[in-house]
Structure 1
């Protein structure tokens, strides 16, 4: 069909399906340019938009893009039958490929092209590409084509860059040593703009370079994250979000994966230079490494600091620009984009004809599901308003149906799920188990729960995949994972599949009584009632000693879970302390939290435990007075409990020598390594920190009340010598400075007997290799 049109020079009826052509972004630009290319060759084009729009948006787009042409129209998609009334359908979003099955039923003669705009890495197993009813697939590069064929065993693939006719190639070089630009959708999980902000923070703090500016232009869900980071790092004079866009700039791209990077190519076409992360797959380096106007980041912040500063000082000359223009013209400017596109389709289709079997099981794209998908779009606003009202009733009535749906998701040994403090941070035992799994069992894929974008950022920085707590994606990934490592209890809505393995690490060795052992009888009964059903899901519980085991057995009533295995191999979080107490690691941590190195600075860590009753301050000690009494080389780091992160506002700006970080970004094990001593009360931090044999000051301001309401398992002074902190700021400062040598060997031998450098290996061997 297509070959005949090419041969005869006749026009075609072409339909394009996209998500939202009215939004700014690379795919929208690609769709607009594709429409223009077909119109240039006098084809008729109908574009269908998945997202609703109004007439004003349509009129503005037609005016701005000069699309006032009788051969093109833009429609809202409200029925899939609309897409079948054409000769050629081009689907420009991978999640929509599944619609091809039903469309082929309506019109078996239609030819359907699927365009891959996202990196292959982001095409997960739950996305149904329906390649049995897609006639061919377009990708941008030869290497993506090769990877696609290999991964999906599908050969009807052609590679062709998106149309760049809208950008004239400017032959004039544009040099700047000051201005940097990012123009992108604010979606940090795929763009990693947070890395660029952290890079500028490092440069400003460590290189005495103040004559640089980063302008970030865009929109999207991560805008709040970027504004928070700019404020957190005090970069308001250097980093601007949605301010002005300079004409001369160096473009920065930090995305882990891209298929081309529209903003990169636009910047290069205009004569600007680009500083690019080559991609975890190396694809962007493959595309852009031949140009004089590009340099590549490494995602090592110290190296990238030097790369950026050197590149900024370098001049881009006329000879280099002429050579770059010639390469750009040859690589990206097609003589006739539409004709090349149609010829590539014809070649790809003829390489292996796709046959549609009308009896084929419709799988994910069953007709009923497709109708449901569209109903969700058309009723979206109304459904959102009603959702909260009917949620409780729905849960009761539909619980059996919900469980049946969940049980259709089969757990796989390939997947591991990690949760720390219900997604409030990425730390504690689950974090170090995740790192050990990646090192020892690299074939496993690891998902980590998160409550917000800050935690997402930390998870990605550690090389793992975040998923938002309680979301559909969370439930899906949780239920797909055979192994669940968690330091609290799983949320109830995910339940537990009979083939899943729950590994409970808990979050510290207790000094204060818990659950079944609480002194307050009423509180004890409430907690026990809620706790026991969740505890019965556990398959393994990690402990560090026989005494630790005994305390947990009493607190959690583990005898009521006969299938529970208690593994006495030590705490993975303390494996990290025992293996990494080095100057190199301490320097890394100081750069992470304090952004610069100083041999003179001494850090005091204050980490009180949580109080059940909401409070406005964590201590009666006046922190400002305390810091004034301490010598100038001393700084205080306040580490808040995960349940009291909101109190950060009380301490983050009281003095430049007092640091209170976002809880979401903090791993307290790291802070232990850079601290001269800790000040705490009834917290389990005592036991972990004892491994470092550095002073521990106990500041217990409500001891009598705490003893009455909660109680202690033992007298901590029976296990070691601890300084009792003064409630007077001047005396407390003296205690910090004039501390004596300490020895916590008795405490370690009795309570952390089995903490070792190979705890993770022992635990994982027991769980994975049974």
Structure 2
């Protein structure tokens, strides 16, 4: 029954609603397939509301998602008849992931695809052998509808035309709204190695084999050895860990994991914690294959890529580049991490700026304003 409803809302109702007039004062937002109120769409929407721009703001959200929306936003259930109505009568669409619709937008409509991060792993049609035909079919239709695709750097702009099957002319090299605040974050004068207290965040990506997540990742990192090293330098460490939600739940419910957390003394961050909001408090990011390190680099702070299983992960997911090609320190185990602190100080200290230069950074803190200006010209 559920699949029949989806088919009706995605295939039949659009044919009807395409006969209705387009409303130039209406914007339809969505994030991660209706699972979130977040990311680039959220930043754009809230800034327009803050500026007092009098338009109709509609968010497509799955019914089971609990979220508090600003009073100016109308919530509409994802995959409902109302969602189909607003999609095909609103002048603007703003999304950060693929739309699962069977019929492309109408010619006068404008679709801002803001995507959700700089790609390290293969994405979209570059990863077609790892994605379902069902998803790829929707993606093909979605690409046909895209008016503008936002890019935060030259590296992404070189990938997107092939990965999305769109022309280069559709790419806006203006940065991304969720990174506007990071781009204008004031850079600190004090060196990483001069600080007497450090907030270190470990944020690994998810492994398809559940047994490889959580404690096994922490054991390879060896938090206690890192703390011992910094103790010899008279530096206090506050260690934070951010896992995938599924991993977090398992850790929180397993006594062995809880004992491990207590012994190693680290803070396990909750699922709802926004990393972008936390970045300003972090002095060092350690991650593996999460594209968040491209965003974090905007702060000009040190980062290390913990690539202990790079060969296996690359075979599983596919990469656009080899991590050791990046101007960023890498480490395959805890001892190698400590070696970075001891013997690669210059590479660590300037890792973020060199990474931004390497990818050709477009982030200036003004992308949201640029998009709003484009919208207002069309209203």
For this structure pair, what is the TM-score category when the shorter chain's length is used for normalisation? 0.7 to 0.9
Match of 2:298 in 1: 691
Q: Would you say the 8 A contact 1:429–1:507 is kept in 2? A: yes
Q: How does 1:667-686 map to 2 (within 5 A)?
A: 667-686=274-293
Please name the residue that 1:492 is paired with. 101
State whether residues 426 and 667 of structure 1, in contact with CA within 8 Å, keep that contact through their aligned partners in structure 2: no
User: How far is 1:477 from its partner?
Assistant: 4.2
In structure 2, how many angstroms separate the alpha carbons of the residues matched to 1:557 and 1:532?
8
Quote how far apart the aligned CAs of 1:576 are. Answer: 1.4
- Please report how far the alpha carbon of residue 753 of structure 1 lies from its aligned counterpart in structure 2 after TM superposition: 2.6
CA distance in 2, matches of 1:723, 1:748: 17
| Pair 623,414 (structure 1): closer, same or farther in 2 beyond 3 Å | farther
2:74 is aligned with 1:442 = no
In structure 2, the partner of 1:425 is: 36
Higher relative contact order (CA 8 A, sep 6+): 2
Task: Tell me the alpha carbon deviations over residues 304-331 of structure 1, each in whole angstroms, 9 at most, x when there is no partner.
Answer: xxxxxxxxxxxxxxxxxxxxxxxxxxxx
- Unaligned 5+ segments in structure 2 are 189-194
Match of 1:414 in 2: 25
Distance 1:483 1:398 in 2: 19
The alpha-carbon deviation at position 652 of structure 1 amounts to 4.1
TM-score (structure 2 length as normaliser): 0.76
- What's the secondary structure of 1:712's corresponding residue? coil
Checking the alignment, whether the CA contact within 8 Å between 1:544 and 1:751 is kept in structure 2 is no
User: Within 2, Cα distance between the matches of 1:397 and 1:769?
Assistant: 34
Q: Deviations over 1:733-756 (max 9, x none)?
A: 786799832243332134243210
Q: What SS does structure 2 have at the residue aligned with 1:666? A: coil
Match of 2:359 in 1: 751
Contact 2:9 2:81 in 1 (8 A): no
Work out the CA distance in 2 between the residues paired with 1:474 and 1:601: 50
| In structure 2, C-alpha distance between the alignment counterparts of 1:441 and 1:755, rounded to whole Å | 25
Q: Is residue 570 of structure 1 aligned with residue 178 of structure 2?
A: no
Conservation of the 8 A alpha-carbon contact between 1:575 and 1:756: yes
Aligned partners of 2:324 and 2:330 also within 8 Å:
no
1:711 and 2:315 correspond: no
> Is 1:609 paired with 2:205?
yes
What's the secondary structure of 1:769's corresponding residue?
A: helix
Aligned partners of 2:9 and 2:79 also within 8 Å: no
**Aligned residue number for residue 621 of structure 1:** 217
Q: Deviations for 1:458-509, whole angstroms, at most 9, x for unmatched residues?
A: x449x74444433445444444532111111112268634443211111111
Instruction: Give me the whole-angstrom Cα distance separating, in 1, the residues matched to 2:82 and 2:197.
Output: 44
CA distance in 1, matches of 2:198, 2:173: 36
CA 1:445/1:722 → structure 2, altered by over 3 Å: closer, same or farther? Answer: farther
Residues in 1 aligned to 2:278 and 2:307: alpha-carbon distance in whole angstroms = 21
**Aligned position for 2:247:** 647
Give 2:116's aligned residue: 507
Distance 1:465 1:523, change over 3 A: same
Distance (Å, rounded) in 1 between the aligned partners of 2:224 and 2:63: 35
Distance change in 2, residues 1:546/1:708 (3 Å): same
The Cα offsets for residues 360-417 of structure 1, whole Å up to 9 and x where unpaired, read as: xxxxxxxxxxxxxxxxxxxxxxxxxxx44xx53x777898752343335544222222
- Given that 2:25 and 2:56 are in contact with CA atoms closer than 8 Å, whether structure 1 keeps it comes out as yes
| 2-structure distance, mates of 1:408, 1:497 | 10
Report the alpha carbon displacement of residue 763 of structure 1 after superposing the two structures with TM: 2.8
Summarize the Cα distance change of 1:407–1:445 in structure 2 as closer, same or farther, 3 Å threshold: same
Q: Do the aligned partners of 1:418 and 1:486 also contact (CA within 8 Å) in 2?
A: yes
1:658 maps to 267
Kindly provide the CA deviation profile for residues 26-71 of structure 1, in whole angstroms up to 9, marking residues without a partner as x. Answer: xxxxxxxxxxxxxxxxxxxxxxxxxxxxxxxxxxxxxxxxxxxxxx
Distance 2:367 2:330 in 1: 31
Instruction: Mark the CA change 1:474 to 1:552 in structure 2 (over 3 Å): closer, same or farther.
Output: same
Of residues 614, 637, 657, the one that matches 2:240 is 637
Structure-2 change in CA distance of 1:464 and 1:524 (3 Å): closer
CA displacement at 1:762 relative to structure 2: 2.0
What is the Cα-based RMSD across aligned positions, in Å?
3.8
Equivalent position of 1:383 in the other structure: none
- Secondary structure of 2:283's counterpart equals strand
Q: Is the 8 A contact 1:626 1:732 kept in 2?
A: no
Equivalent residues of 1:544, 1:568 under 8 A apart: yes
Mapped to 2, the partners of 1:574 and 1:399 lie a distance apart of 32
SS for the counterpart of 1:713 is coil
Deviations 1:212-242 (A, max 9, x none): xxxxxxxxxxxxxxxxxxxxxxxxxxxxxxx
C-alpha displacement at 1:574, in angstroms? Answer: 1.7
Preserved CA contact (<8 Å) 1:695 1:739 = no
Change (3 A) 1:523 1:622: closer
**TM-fit CA distance, 1:577:** 0.6
> Aligned in 2, Cα 1:452/1:581: closer, same or farther, shift over 3 Å?
farther
Deviation at 1:551, TM superposition (A): 0.9
Superposed, which structure 2 residues align to 1:245-324 within 5 Å?
none
Is residue 760 from structure 1 mapped to residue 368 from structure 2 by the alignment? yes
User: Does the CA contact (< 8 Å) of 1:607 and 1:678 recur in 2?
Assistant: yes
Q: Tell me the equivalent position of 1:185.
A: none
Provide the residue aligned with 2:158 in structure 1.
550
* Counterparts in 2 of 1:466 and 1:524: CA distance versus 1, 3 Å: closer
SS at match of 1:438: helix
Counterpart among 316, 325, 331 of residue 724 in structure 1: 331
Q: Which position in structure 2 is the counterpart of 1:139?
A: none
In 2, Cα distance between the equivalents of 1:626 and 1:450?
A: 40
Matched-pair contact (CA < 8 Å) for 1:604–1:634? yes
Instruction: Indicate if the aligned counterparts of 2:160 and 2:166 stay in contact, CA closer than 8 A.
Output: yes
**Judging changes above 3 Å, is the alpha-carbon distance between structure 1 residues 581 and 737 closer, same or farther for their aligned structure 2 residues?**
farther
Structure 1 residues without counterparts, runs of 5 or longer: 1-386, 584-598
| Kept after mapping to 2: 8 A contact 1:450/1:456 | no
Provide the rounded CA distance (Å) in 2 between the counterparts of 1:397 and 1:414.
27
> Cα gap change, 1:501/1:639 in structure 2, threshold over 3 Å: closer, same or farther?
farther
Q: Distance in 2 between matches of 1:710 and 1:685?
A: 17
Bigger Cα Rg:
1
Q: Secondary structure at the match of 1:513?
A: coil
